[in-house]
Structure 1
Amino acid sequence: MMALYNGDEKDIREFFRVYCNFFKEQGYDVVTFEACIGMIMPGAGALGDSRVIPVIQEEDDFRNYPWDDIPELYFKEYSKYFRALREEMPEGMKAIGGVGNGIFECVQDLTSFQGLCYIAADDEELYHNLFKK
């Protein structure tokens, strides 16, 4: 769905018109759509690229991370897609999905898998706080 992110408002609306109608024509009563939160998390990327230096490696990194900014960043980036989805939704259908990426993927995207393993062994409190946050 990466092409979705390159269009203007008209392109986005057309995408969702075609996308939603596909589900309707196939007999579904729901349309699935999610926008991945990992793409907007500051400093993320350690999950998909081992060359990325994890943004969270210790407690200070965790405390200084802009956690409170994430909802605003998410809505700023993705509201236009959810609006277009709503506007193009065929009558009687609903949408399911929403925020893509699970908690485990998001944590790994900030710490890397290897880094998360070290945190789990060396700093149990930080490990638990990452998943709570």
Structure 2
Amino acid sequence: MPHVIFLRSACALPNDFNLTQKQFSNTWTYVDATSAMMDVKVRRSGWNFLWLKDAYSRLAFGQTETTAVTKALSRALKEIDSGFNAADFDELKVSRYPGIRIARVTLHARHIQQEALLSPIKCAAVRHLAVE
């Protein structure tokens, strides 16, 4: 799953934006695309794909690799501030032990919007996250 962009289910997208989205959870879907591919597609529509420096890394345990990865992704996605509508899947590490798998995933917050700059509300959220 290294080339995946997660989108919030209610994520506003450009009208001419045709993406095959797959359901991940009740609040997130995903698109098979690199962040560079998504950036080009979004910008061609006249919108912006903003990169936020925040990284969210979580780990989870499971009996199978799939279970561990799914749990770790769910935990990381829950940490993405509700003001941001996308996340870039960056890294996956899975450790294998007899009867158990440990997955660590890292996501980066992203935001798709029409304006070139984050709104003051979103900027305040970014400053708040930076202070913590």
TM range (shorter): under 0.3
Normalised to the residue count of structure 1, the TM-score between the two structures is: 0.26
Which has more radius of gyration?
1
- Which structure has more strand as a fraction of its residues? 2
When you count helix as a share of all residues, which structure comes out higher?
1
Q: TM-score, normalised by structure 2?
A: 0.26
- The structure, 1 or 2, with the larger RCO (C-alpha pairs under 8 Å, 6+ apart) is 1
